Chains A and B, each alone.
Chain A
Amino acid sequence: MDVLKPQIGDWWHALLQGAGLSSGWIVFLDALVITLILLGLGLTSVLFAVWLERKLAARVQDRLGPNRVGPYGLVQTVADALKLLTKEDITPDNAERLSYNLAPGLAVFAVLMLLLVIPFGPGLIGADINVGVLYLVAMGSVGIMAILMAGWSSNNKYALLGGFRAVAQLLSYEIPMILAMSVPVLFAGTMSMEKLVEQQAHGRWFGVVMPAAFFLYFLAALAENERTPFDLLEADSEIVAGYHIEYSGMKFAWFFLAFFLNTLILSAIATTLFLGGWRGPFVEQVPALGIFYFLAKSFVLVFAFMWIRATFPRLRIDQMMAFAWKVMVPTGLVLVLVAAVFVKLPVAPLVRDVLLFLVNVFILLVVAGLVGRHLRLQIKRLSEGAAVVS
């Protein structure tokens, strides 16, 4: 299925060789073109995502949202970006200057690096490395460091609290996320993002076979993206804005960009790992359709992210930590073992998939039931007047 990139690539390489360039130069120019395409794609898609989020949140709250700059306010984000670029950039006197200035750039770097291993269509991938999923996990952690640097170096108590909360939350939710991501790897027997999509042929999406793993990933992604109901690290009513409170101008814009690009990329990863990536009807005949399917699936998830943000209240920090360690981590461990047992089961693939689906639904129901029972007990105890924490 390596269709699109080789076709364009052959034409491109013939052109370069015709111009009489050495192979070293061709490798360099290849890399340069991929880099520029991915950066351009990443930055422009953020402009659209910001507009989408504002428009959606406005509709949920019975407002119109941006509607002045351009048709449907589409160019509003460009205007905002220009405004942020020309806005005065204030560095507090007490700030630790080196990490204060490094943090926004590092946050953007960490997110941009993730774009490299996402397959947008058949063969359309920046770098198809054989450790793709591990690369995603590793690069995802760099962003946490940027947030801690920003929170600590601002020398502001709100920012520091935001930074601490960020590290506690992002680290805790990384574990269930990694466990959920290991399930597709287990099925496919590869960590290459391109091969993971190839393994999900004939509608056998890993998210359909293992809905519980997909759900676990989705919840963890919400937390990793600092979105409601897990947005304590920038809870406006408690710590004003968290780690980026002292940032203004373009440095703030970088944190903002990193946040929105992260939303898009987490959805893209979910699409690749669980929803069949660019797979869909007739994609074998018309490979270009793959790009459409990929973007459509990703934006359905982005829509869900934004919808949840517009409608859900925020959790308390003890609830948030308890949910990660007492609900999601045990569920993740059980799911990995269940997947491993079923892969070795000596039955027909179809029977196995149906059984796995049923077991997954059962696990989801049991976990939801247990959490619900716990909550009902708490409410009962609270209404009886006893002081309950946890």
Chain B
Amino acid sequence: MLNTYAVIGLYALVALTFPFIVLLFARLVRPSKPNPLKNSTYECGMETIGDTWVQFRAQYYLFALVFVVFDVEVVFLYPWAVAYGKLGLFALVEMALFIGLLAVALVYAWRKGILEWQ
């Protein structure tokens, strides 16, 4: 078991450094002749007007909130699914209640119009 995680550790290390090593190598072989025009934002088109980092629309935030609710559900769903065969009928009733509650939340968000993209 520990050996398995040694594999994961080494693999993660190599997978994380490998792309950057290739980028460093590319730095050695590629040309580099920057000029102000080339380095402007959106090189081949018109400069965009105004700041890019503006306040983004709240719509994305609402979807993120709904997402968090369902993502937390998954944290409960997976252990339940693994242990389900060993548990009695009670596990089914419990999860049905849990998913039912979530469904009510989804219906509420739906009726509130959060799921409509304006």
**Shortest beta-carbon distance, A288 to chain B, in Å?**
22
A245 on interface, CB distance cutoff 8 Å: yes
B115 touches A344 (CB 8 A): no
User: Smallest CB–CB gap between B48 and chain A, Å?
Assistant: 5
B7 in complex: contacting residue of A34, A137, A318, CB < 8 Å:
A34
List, in ascending order, chain A residues with CB within 8 A of B106's CB.
325, 329-330
Are A93 and B39 neighbours in the complex by a CB distance under 8 Å?
yes
Interface pairs A-B: 8 shortest CB-CB: A318-B117, A105-B19, A250-B26, A31-B10, A112-B15, A189-B85, A186-B81, A185-B81
Q: Is the CB of B89 within 8 A of A344?
A: yes
B27, chain A: closest CB distance, angstroms: 7
Produce 1/0 per residue, A242-271, CB < 8 A to B: 000110011100100000000000000000
Contact of B84 with A340 in the complex, beta carbons under 8 Å: yes
Cβ contact of B78, chosen from A88, A128, A182, cutoff 8 A = A182
- Partner of A185 from the list B82, B110, B116 (CB cut-off 8 Å) is B82
Cβ-defined contact, B10 with A85, below 8 A: no
Please determine whether A39 and B14 come into contact, CB atoms closer than 8 angstroms. yes
Q: Which of A105, A157, A185 contacts B48 (CB 8 A)?
A: A157
Instruction: Knowing A129-B8, A254-B19, say if A90 contacts B82 (CB, 8 Å).
Output: no
Q: Within residues 21 to 71 of chain B, which ones have a CB less than 8 A from any CB in chain A? A: 22-23, 25-27, 29-34, 36, 38-43, 48, 52-53, 56, 60, 63-64, 66-67, 70-71
Interface residue ranges, A against B (CB under 8 Å): 27-28, 30-32, 34-35, 38-39, 85-94, 101, 104-105, 108-109, 112-113, 116, 126-129, 133-134, 137, 152, 154-158, 160, 164, 167-168, 171-172, 174-175, 178-179, 182, 185-186, 189-191, 245-246, 249-251, 254, 317-318, 321-322, 325-326, 329-330, 333, 336-337, 340-341, 343-344, 389-390
Q: How many residues of B contact A (CB 8 A)?
A: 67
Residues of B within 8 A of A337 (CB): 95-96, 99
